[in-house]
Amino acid sequence: MIKSLFAVAAAAILLMTLAAPAHANDPKVAIVALDARLAKIGAPKLDGTDKAGEKNVPGLFFGARKINNNYDVVDEIKKGTGAVATVFVKEGDEFVRVSTNVLTPEGKRGVGTTLARAKAYEAVSKGEPYCGVVDVLGTALDSCYNPVKDGGGKVIGVTYVGYKK
């Protein structure tokens, strides 16, 4: 009995080990993890304003938790998947980083920086996801972006994950 349990456990470990590389560094898997983590906290909404770097931007909440300048979720994603992660809030025509583990060349979190106006910007502005290789603060990353929508379906932010190429 113990011998057969050992064999089953060994087979399960072998299967997980063989399957893991298929998902390793896959931004499509990591974005699902980020979005699920945020959804577990609560529904997204805007309320009030807050600083993001030198900018005043809307306060982005998931449930009762304000995401602006709160790094626990993006840091959990990095710890769990190895991906860099960001949550942007929509401010006018821009998407501004309010929570991120993406670092600037100076080694600081890139809070207050904006999403570049490229393919990802075009997609999320229309409420569509985007995955592809993008330049994030000077580094090429295999990335995925998802729009964050409020209860009425309006795009109020963006989630992002990426892995260095």
pLDDT of residue 90: 98
Domain count, the chain: 1
In a domain, 80, yes or no: yes
Q: Are 135 and 116 in contact (CB under 8 A)?
A: yes
pLDDT of residue 20: 40
pLDDT, one tens digit per residue, over 113-148 is 999 999 999 999 999 999 999 987 778 899 999 999
In a domain, 7, yes or no: no
CATH code at position 126: 3.30.450
Q: What range does the domain containing 43 cover?
A: 21-164
In a domain, 30, yes or no: yes
In a domain, 87, yes or no: yes
Tell me how far apart the alpha carbons of residues 9 and 1 are, in angstroms, rounded to a whole number: 12
In a domain, 9, yes or no: no
Q: Are 161 and 34 in contact (CB under 8 A)?
A: yes
In a domain, 4, yes or no: no
In a domain, 131, yes or no: yes
In a domain, 150, yes or no: yes
Token pair belonging to 114: 């904006």
Closest CA to 86 of 126, 120, 63: 120
Residue with tokens 């207050």: 112
